[in-house]
């Protein structure tokens, strides 16, 4: 059932069977993969800035281009990543495409993340 060649501690720390309990309590691999992917998409400076802007208002691409002071192509590429990850949504309005946060979880993740970061500075 287990496939780890690397052995356990030969003199266990003081966890005789805790290891086995933890192993059985671990979430499914697929879910952990998805969670890591979510955080990975959030873990980029440009994308964090985009999300902080969209947190305040629905915005089109050129708005974001202006706010972030970056290339339009770079913004579009990152918006694609955010959209594929279902973190933002988009709707067309004439020639423009308006982007907004897709999920309320995202705003909460950003909020808690900021708390952690700010406390770490103290």
Partner DNA sequence: CCAAAACATGAACAGTTGCTCATACGATAC
Partner DNA sequence: GTATCGTATGAGCAACTGTTCATGTTTTGG
Which 59-88 residues touch DNA, going by CB under 7 A? 60-62, 65, 70-74, 76-81
Query: Considering the complex, what minimum distance in angstroms separates the CB of residue 81 from a copy of itself?
Result: 12
Q: Does 57 bind DNA (CB under 7 A)?
A: no
Q: Does 13 bind DNA (CB under 7 A)?
A: yes
d(C-alpha 118, C-alpha 56), whole Å: 20
Residue 26 binding: pick among DNA, a copy of itself, none (C-beta 5-8 Å cut-off by kind): a copy of itself
Q: Does 107 bind DNA (CB under 7 A)?
A: no
Dihedral angle at the C-alpha atoms of 51, 74, 38, 29, nearest 10 degrees? Answer: 180
Residue 18 binding: pick among a copy of itself, DNA, none (C-beta 5-8 Å cut-off by kind): a copy of itself
Query: Considering the complex, what minimum distance in angstroms separates the CB of residue 104 from a copy of itself?
Result: 9
Query: Considering the complex, what minimum distance in angstroms separates the CB of residue 62 from a copy of itself?
Result: 4
Contact at 8 Å (CB) between 102 and 82? Answer: no
According to DSSP H, which parts of 1-122 are helical?
18-25, 29-42, 45-56, 61-68, 72-84, 104-121
Here the tokens at position 73 are 């192509």
Give the Cα-Cα-Cα angle 66, 72, 73 (nearest 5 degrees): 160
Chain positions contacting DNA, by CB under 7 A: 7, 9-11, 13, 40, 43-47, 60-62, 65, 70-74, 76-81, 90, 92, 94-98
């Amino acid at each position: 059932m287990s496939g780890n060649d690397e052995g356990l501690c030969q003199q266990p720390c003081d966890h005789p069977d805790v290891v086995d309990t933890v192993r059985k309590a671990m979430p499914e691999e697929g879910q952990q993969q998805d969670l890591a992917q979510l955080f990975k998409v959030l873990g980029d400076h440009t994308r964090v800035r985009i999300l902080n802007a969209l947190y305040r208002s629905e915005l089109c691409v050129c708005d974001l281009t202006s706010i972030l002071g970056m290339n339009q192509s770079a913004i579009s590429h990152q918006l694609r990543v955010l959209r594929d990850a279902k973190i933002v949504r988009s709707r067309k309005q004439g020639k423009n495409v308006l982007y907004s946060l897709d999920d309320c979880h995202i705003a909460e993740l950003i909020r808690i993340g900021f708390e952690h970061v700010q406390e770490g500075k103290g």
